Amino acid sequence: MSAETKNIYLPKLHRIQDIIPETSDIKTFRLNLEGTPFVYYPGQFAELFVPGVGEAPISITSSPTQKGILEFSIKKTGLVTAAIHRLNQGDRLGVRGPYGNTFLVSNLKHQNLLFIGGGIGLAPLRSLINYVLDDEKRSDFQQVIILYGARSPEDLIFKWEFKKWENLEKVSLLVTVDRGNPQWTGQVGLVPNVLKESVNVNPPEWTCIICGPPIMIKFTIKALLDMGFQSHNIITTLEMRMKCGLGKCGRCNIGPHYVCKDGPVFTYEQLQNMPEEY
Ligand SMILES: Cc1cc2nc3c(=O)[nH]c(=O)nc-3n(C[C@H](O)[C@H](O)[C@H](O)COP(=O)(O)OP(=O)(O)OC[C@H]3O[C@@H](n4cnc5c(N)ncnc54)[C@H](O)[C@@H]3O)c2cc1C
Ligand code: FES
């Protein structure tokens, strides 16, 4: 065994094939795996590494059905994410992982799926959305509704993918913003309100997967419960502070759970049995 395979903290460098500007402070980085195996499932994350700066945990936004590439959508918030934003096409970015649990696609088979994303929270959901909508997997799942909200039209990510999703059979995409602008002709309203007003489903027949800012998750879960969703049919993914990503440093624990290993994906039923630290 080489020294490289023994060191679990050692990232692998991958070439940036493309950079897609999403908003003023979010970019999607498409890395070329160049034949290096990287086996992952929707819901997992990786630690991204910039030499001399540090590491940050970032959700994998590509779907494993997209072969040979790995995508991350990254918001510039501090040191590491700003350093990643300074990289150019052709530069190399360090990746270690994948880490964390997954959305357990086998448990979602034959179900109707309601995705609810807020802001950059659509990034981890997109991995599962594109997995479910992949030609080879599509018949394993039923109807799909994607409800996506952001503060303003300028804050929406993956706009370039909306047409593809909208044009698919048995897929509905609802996009809303908190505040419109003169060009915006779409829906204006907070996600939980749009959910209650515009999503007409029979809750026992649906599973909902949510990711977004904590305040959005809180009020969206309340709306889902009011609509009749059961807590085991509501799935969310947490973005706690993390360091190692491997269950070793204790940075991300909630009670006895390490979010980096036992999560980041939890059902609302599981969260209800945890201390209120998330
Ligand atoms: C499992 C997981 C998945 C994530 N997925 C994504 C993703 O897909 N895209 C993305 O842009 N970001 C994601 N994040 C958040 C990302 O890891 C942080 O924004 C990043 O670590 C900040 O690092 P930095 O060095 O740039 O900022 P720092 O210089 O460390 O900090 C900048 C500011 O951000 C705050 N901050 C740092 N980490 C977090 C955090 N986890 N949550 C909230 N605030 C934080 C700091 O307190 C500080 O105010 C994810 C986090 C986790 C744990
Ligand atoms: S990040 Fe180190 S234990 Fe979870």
pLDDT digit string, tens, across residues 161-184: 999 999 999 999 999 999 999 999
**Euclidean distance between CA atoms 57 and 144, whole angstroms:** 28
The single-letter DSSP state of residue 139 is G
211: alpha, beta or left? (left if phi > 0; alpha if psi -120 to 50): beta
Q: Which helix (H) or strand (E) holds 220?
A: helix 214-227
Local confidence band at 4 (pLDDT 50, 70, 90 cut-offs): very low
Number of other residues whose CB lies within 10 A of the CB of residue 190: 17
Ligand nearest to the CA of 120: 1
Candidates 239, 258, 266: which one to mutate for ligand 1, based on the most atoms within 8 Å of Cβ? Answer: 239
- State pTM to two decimals: 0.94
Given a cut of 70, whether residue 1 has pLDDT beyond it is no
**Euclidean distance between CA atoms 111 and 145, whole angstroms:** 12
Hey, whose CA ends up nearest to atom 3 of ligand 2? Answer: 247
Residue 250, ligand 2, Cβ within 6 A = yes
Ligand nearest to the CA of 211: 1
* Contact partners, residue 63, CB within 8 Å, separation at least 6: 42, 126, 127, 128, 129, 130, 131, 134
**Euclidean distance between CA atoms 83 and 155, whole angstroms:** 21
Given a cut of 80, whether residue 84 has pLDDT beyond it is yes
Number of other residues whose CB lies within 10 A of the CB of residue 51: 11
Mean pLDDT of 130-147: 97
Given a cut of 80, whether residue 244 has pLDDT beyond it is yes
Q: Which helix (H) or strand (E) holds 260?
A: helix 259-262
- The SS3 assignment for 16 reads strand
**Euclidean distance between CA atoms 22 and 12, whole angstroms:** 26
Residue 240, ligand 1, Cβ within 6 A = yes
- Residue 249 exposure: Cα atoms within 13 Å on the Cβ side: 10
Whats the size of the chain, residue-wise?
Answer: 278
The rounded Å distance from CA 241 to ligand 1 centre is 7
Residue 249, ligand 1, Cβ within 6 A = no
Mean pLDDT of 26-35: 95
Provide the terminal-to-terminal Cα distance of the chain, rounded to the nearest Å: 39
Local confidence band at 278 (pLDDT 50, 70, 90 cut-offs): low
What percent of the chain is modeled with pLDDT above 70?
A: 97
Residue 80, ligand 1, Cβ within 6 A = yes
Given a cut of 90, whether residue 229 has pLDDT beyond it is yes
